[in-house]
Structure 1
Amino acid sequence: MLLLIPLAALSAGPQQPQHAHEHEVGERLGTVRFPVSCGPAARRDFERAVALLHSFQYEESERAFAAVAQAEPSCAMAYWGIAMSLYHPVWAAANPSAAPAPEELARGRSAVERAKAAGTPRAREREYIAAIEAFYRDSERLDHRARALAYARAMEQVARRHPKDPEAAIFYAVALLGTPRPTDKTYATQRQAAEILNRVLPGTRDHPGVAHYLIHSFDYPELARLALPAARAYANIAPASPHALHMPSHIFTRLAMWQESIRSNLASAAAARRLMARTHPGATHYDELHAMDYLVYAYLQGVEDRKAEGVVAEMRAVRSIDQATFAAAYAFAATPARFVLERRRWSDAAALGVWPADFPWQKFPYAEAIVHFARVLGAARSGDSTAARKSLDRLEQIRAGLSEAGDRYWADQVEVERRAAAAWVARSEGKDREAVDLLRSSAELDDSMDKHPVTPGAVLPARELLGDLFLDLGRAAEALKEYESTLARSPGRFNSLAGAARAAERAGDLGKARGYYAQLVAQCGSADAAHPDLDRAKALLR
């Protein structure tokens, strides 16, 4: 049974016992200078809480702000911090479940009211409070995005009125990152945020938010290389933060820097365990699950299969978690599915269950969909079209539910999976033309969107699956094109490199085949398992 720590235990309000200073000696979270009109001790603790906030340690930052408020009830900005800790702009931009729930909105409004009641002599502080109030105002009437835009506009004004306040610019930048639509491939808003951050960078090189938000601004295939300096810096700025240690791997994954990603996520998982030992002994932090997902993805690209399987086994042994977040849901669903699908263990894929059974999957239907996607592919590739169609029906139910709820992005993501899975069902039934048409439409829909920032990548990319289908049909030249399209978007994917090599070899382009096989061998220097494509690569290159 999976145990969830009760919400009350996660979000200690000002009236509850303080834990804000129960942190390791020498804790490094980066440097934040945010002067406020509170006492000296409160100012120090307030800046630590802001540093936690900038590294998305929302539970810890809320607790730290609450401790400041309890120690100094007249410190208005402590209540501002509580309200800020309840709004997760980057996560909520593409994921409705990450938006504040009604209970959290009520707590946020209460914190804003307490900030206003406490009062502050400084106009700048009143403007910060008014800005976050714009997010919580009219929440019963306005949807999340409308209020996120209102907050971003308010922070724009704060930043303009206080050009010498780097925090105003930094909070404006992350407010912007809470507003783009996930289908906008121009990345105009993200580029705007990065421009703001780069302007304040020279004077804030040890600031956790600047490096962190630059990574999020550029966490896209076309922009990822621009974030490499920030990725290399962030972990050194805030090594006490599990999220800070993990975030560089977003860029390392984009750039096929697999060993760097592995090191980042091993460090992040270890930091998450240390944090839980202090705050929730015996529980697993969702950041550790998130790191495990990225670890398995990276291990698989280098055929470190034994290590990957060990991580999956560790995840299966988890018995309690701190928060049922989307990152946790995605990791629970995607990590086991990724392992069996990438290694073509079709019967194991067909047998996957939605696990943990007592996890609140109803809150994360798009994560649950991954399991059914894997089951369809596994059953279809094993020749059991009846079982495949049963799981395919469940995929359609999830897609329809998301569509009815107005969640277009995730409805479309599930539709990408549904069409790709349906294609392999059609192939198993000898309907080859239908299979190609379905997978082409799946790939085209997938091309119109980008991956969610929580995920290291699709469990199996649609264009890679189209390449597999073409190769299965003996259409090697077309397969090669699809594998190369996948590699342009997701460099260094083992299966796409191997597929491209096999397709080039069958198409008679031995030079290109050798090039792809050489890439395979180069990135598999730490392989701990055998793989037929790696064996073929080594044989051809002798």
Structure 2
Amino acid sequence: MLRLRLVPVSLLLVASLSSAQEMHDHGIPERLGEVSFPISCAPSVQEEFNRGVALLHSFAYASAEQTFRGIARIDPQCGMALWGVAMTYFHQVWSPNLPLSVFPAGQEEMLEATRLSAKSDRERGFIHALGALYQESDSLTPSMRTVAYEQAMTEVARKNDKDVESQVFYALALLANASPTDKTHAKQKQAIDLLEPLNREYPNHPGIAHYLIHACDSQELAERGLPAARAYAQIAPSAPHALHMPSHIFTRLGLWNDSIASNLASRQAAHQHGDMLDELHAMDYLVYAYLQTGSDKEVRQLVQDMKAMPNLDMSRFGIAYAATAIPIRYAVERGRWKDAASTGVPTGAPPSVVAIAVWSKGMGLARTGHVKDAREDVDRLRQIEAQLRASGDTYWSTQTGVLASEVMAWSAQAGGDPHQALVLLRAAADQEDAVEKQPVTPGPILPAREQLGDLLLQQEQRELALKEFQTALAGAPGRRGALLGIAQASRHDDRAELY
């Protein structure tokens, strides 16, 4: 492979980009990794373009947008600067990855980028590929657009097989279209096969390490992602997301102390940058890890810190998810069912987030014997499930269906129908296990397989409960609930309550 000279991205900004410098100059050198993305725009913007791409690779979208807009002011004929702006709206492994609220702006940027074009075939390929995502057509769904982008990036990668950025952005395009129901992880493995050889040649490239972590964010592949997880925070320590991302692998492997250290650093950096989304995301992963280590004092402090955060924009999925999940994780994982039953529904949150709050309330009611009220929450969950399905959100409609089945199961148990409770909860566990989690969450609030083990304990079926807890632990190593369940199912006493 042709080896390109990678340029360290530092805080040595050109004078005319003073607005970007003002945002990032904290008195210490900025470390974002090493990126080289040659473009045919004015030579004076090349270093800053590399910096913008490095920011993109660490999902520092707001800073990247500011950087690319600064480039466009210096060189108004630079179509790749507008490509960069439009790329900041496309959050490829997030959900949704192309929010409707930003689509018109991205489309406008790409129309202008296409008009300006570029001097090289490679740059025109990047612009054409992103143009396929933003093409004008009312008949295209978001998933169809991301597929069109991946197909176009396939050609970019094929025609530029010695170009690092072509391969790296193509690998990310593959991950954007990886199906959560594909337990073979075919696209993830395809991305890994592209990225691992590049990682050996370019060990300080932020995107390569970052996307390897995302590609390996499954129980099957987590061990393979551990070297990248150990490296990424050292490659780009100035990016809060780079400090957090290793915890995706640490969580999969039950390395709780590593996850805690990763997210403490990420939370602090995000707070200093004023990045509420990354701060809350790190806090949610922190709560998850602290719960597994029995660190309830730290969890309570995080819950209080979250509640004290002002002006949370609950219309943003990532913010709404973390802010809703954090207190619910504490209540539900610790069996504080009365607290769960009093869960309020967040105002202005997406339906998939509202479903989590409704589930928490329904679980609390069912586990405290208020069967009739719990079944009302089941009805509401079914309505949300149908709403999500009608909108084309298959993933979250499936997850909401699992939540509804869980509340139904515990309502059946409380209502004196243990057989129906087992049928419902086993089906929910099988359904949940068949789908990979989204990166927004460290894991289900309370895994259905663990709940099934708990239910079997309550029904005094210890051997069956033990098997379910062992299965749950194999899928999520180190989880406290599964470990406690195994210990309890192995004992012969009368204590049937796990949580």
TM-score by length of 2: 0.92
Q: Deviations over 1:271-329 (max 9, x none)?
A: 101111xxxxxxx6111001110001100101100001100110011112478432212
Q: Equivalent residue for 2:81?
A: 78
Task: Check conservation: 1:191, 1:217, Cα contact below 8 A.
Answer: yes
Please give the alpha-carbon distance, in whole angstroms, between the structure 2 residues aligned to 1:108 and 1:371.
33
Q: Distance in 1 between matches of 2:146 and 2:201?
A: 28
Counterparts of 1:227 and 1:495, CA distance in 2: 25
Asked whether 1:296 is paired with 2:294, we answer no
Amino acid in the other structure paired with 2:98: A
What is the letter of the counterpart of residue 336 of structure 2? Answer: R
Which one has more relative contact order, counting CA pairs under 8 Å at least 6 apart? Answer: 1
Structure 1 residue aligned with 2:407, among 411, 418, 421? 421
Where 2:93 maps in the other structure, the secondary structure is: helix
From 48, 53, 59, the counterpart of 1:50: 53
Q: How far did residue 352 of structure 1 move?
A: 1.2
Q: Look up the equivalent residue of 1:347 and give its one-letter code.
A: K
Consecutive unaligned residues in structure 1, runs of 5 or more: 1-16, 277-283, 509-531, 535-542
Q: Residue 184 of structure 1 aligns to a residue in which SS?
A: coil
Corresponding position: 1:127 with 2:125: yes
Q: What's the CA shift for 1:407?
A: 2.0
Of the candidates 229, 232, 235, which is equivalent to residue 230 of structure 2?
232
Q: Decide whether the 8 Å contact of 1:301 with 1:493 is kept in 2.
A: yes
Q: Distance in 2 between matches of 1:306 and 1:160?
A: 53
Measured in 2, the distance between the counterparts of 1:402 and 1:323 equals 18
Report what 1:354 is aligned to.
345
Deviations 1:316-363 (A, max 9, x none): 1111247843221211121111101111111111011124x3xx21xx
Does residue 369 (structure 1) correspond to residue 355 (structure 2)? The answer is: yes
Runs of 4+ in 1 over 6 A off after TM superposition: none
Q: How has the CA–CA distance of structure 1 residues 323 and 170 changed in structure 2, closer, same or farther, with 3 Å as cutoff?
A: farther
Indicate if the aligned counterparts of 1:139 and 1:147 stay in contact, CA closer than 8 A: no
Corresponding letter in the other structure for 1:342? E
Q: Matches of 2:62 and 2:335 in 1, distance apart?
A: 39
Q: Where does residue 286 of structure 1 map in the other structure?
A: 277
The offset of 1:18, in angstroms, is: 7.0
Residues matched between the structures, number: 478
Indicate the RMSD between aligned Cα atoms, in angstroms. Answer: 1.9
Aligned residue among 473, 486, 490 for 1:487? 473
Which residue of structure 2 aligns with residue 27 of structure 1?
30
Instruction: Give the corresponding residue for 1:345.
Output: 336
Pairing of 1:48-127 with structure 2 (within 5 A): 48-91=51-94, 95=95, 97-101=96-100, 103-127=101-125
The separation in 2 between residues aligned to 1:322 and 1:372, in whole angstroms, is: 20
CA distance in 2, matches of 1:38, 1:444: 53
> How far apart, CA to CA, are the structure 2 residues paired with 1:312 and 1:173?
37
How far residue 100 of structure 1 moved from its aligned partner, in angstroms, is 3.1
The whole-number CA distance in structure 2 between the counterparts of 1:481 and 1:455 is 26
Q: Which range moved further: 188-197 or 445-454?
A: 445-454
Per the TM alignment, residue 105 of structure 1 is displaced from its structure 2 partner at its CA by: 2.2
- Residue 255 (structure 1) shift: 0.3
Q: Give the letter for the 1:178 counterpart.
A: A
On the 8 A contact 1:286/1:327 being kept in 2, the answer is: yes
Identity %: 46
Whole-angstrom distance in 2 between the partners of 1:123 and 1:184: 35
The alpha-carbon deviation at position 51 of structure 1 amounts to: 0.5
2:372 aligned with 1:386, yes or no? Answer: yes
CA distance in 1, matches of 2:102, 2:201: 35
State which of 416, 429, 453 in structure 1 corresponds to 2:439.
453
Structure 2 unmatched ranges of 5 or more: 1-16
Query: Take 1:405 and 1:116, find their aligned partners in 2: how far apart are those partners?
Result: 31
Matched to 1:301, the amino acid is: Q
The answer as to whether partners of 1:286 and 1:321 remain within 8 angstroms in 2 is: no
Matches within 5 A, 1:92-241: 95=95, 97-101=96-100, 103-241=101-239
Residue identity in the other structure for 2:265: A
**Cα distance, 1:498 vs. partner?**
0.3
Residue of structure 1 in register with 2:395 after alignment: 409
Q: Structure 1 stretch 132-141 or stretch 41-50: which is displaced more?
A: 132-141
Q: Which residue of 2 aligns with 1:518?
A: none
